[in-house]
Amino acid sequence: MTDPDQHCPGLACFELLGRKWTPQIVWALLDGPRRFSALLASVPGLSDKVLTRRLAELERAGIVTRAQYAEIPPRVEYTLTRSGLALRGVIGEMERWSTQHAGADATARSRTAARRRS
């Protein structure tokens, strides 16, 4: 067992992708540049306020770039940086793990909760 006081090598990734909605936003941007409204539409349940916050966080972390074009009406696009694109494998592994394990875990939790209620 590892010492809980030691630094976890994957902590930076966990902190980044552990925020609600962040993996879904990065996943949507893996297909290429997106405008704000397209991103919002591609992540059901995400509010524009939270999307604005998460995009700003991702931009500060060097995961997303924001390009504003001097057009009428103004156009803003969000794109993954090289570091952002490198998350493709991480998110793919998260998806694979979820497919293989989370469904079974969720079913077991439901059965345990049902037994407790009866």
Assess whether pLDDT exceeds 70 at residue 42: yes
- CB-side neighbour CA atoms (13 Å) of 83: 11
52 vs 108: which has the higher pLDDT: 52
- Does the pLDDT at position 88 exceed 60? yes
For the chain, how many structural domains are there in total?
2
39: domain CATH number is 1.10.10.10
The residue among 17, 18, 35 whose CA lies nearest residue 26 is 17
Q: Which domain holds residue 109?
A: 86-118
Q: The pTM is what? A: 0.77
Whether residue 8 is contained in a domain is answered as: no
38 and 73: one domain? yes
Does one domain contain both 94 and 53?
no
Tell whether 76 is covered by a domain: yes
Residue 75 and residue 91 share a domain:
no
Helices (H), the chain: 11-17, 22-29, 36-42, 48-60, 82-85, 87-97, 103-117
The 8-class DSSP code of residue 10 comes to: T
Q: Is the backbone of residue 21 left (phi > 0), alpha (psi -120 to 50) or beta?
A: left
The verdict on residue 112 lying in a domain is: yes
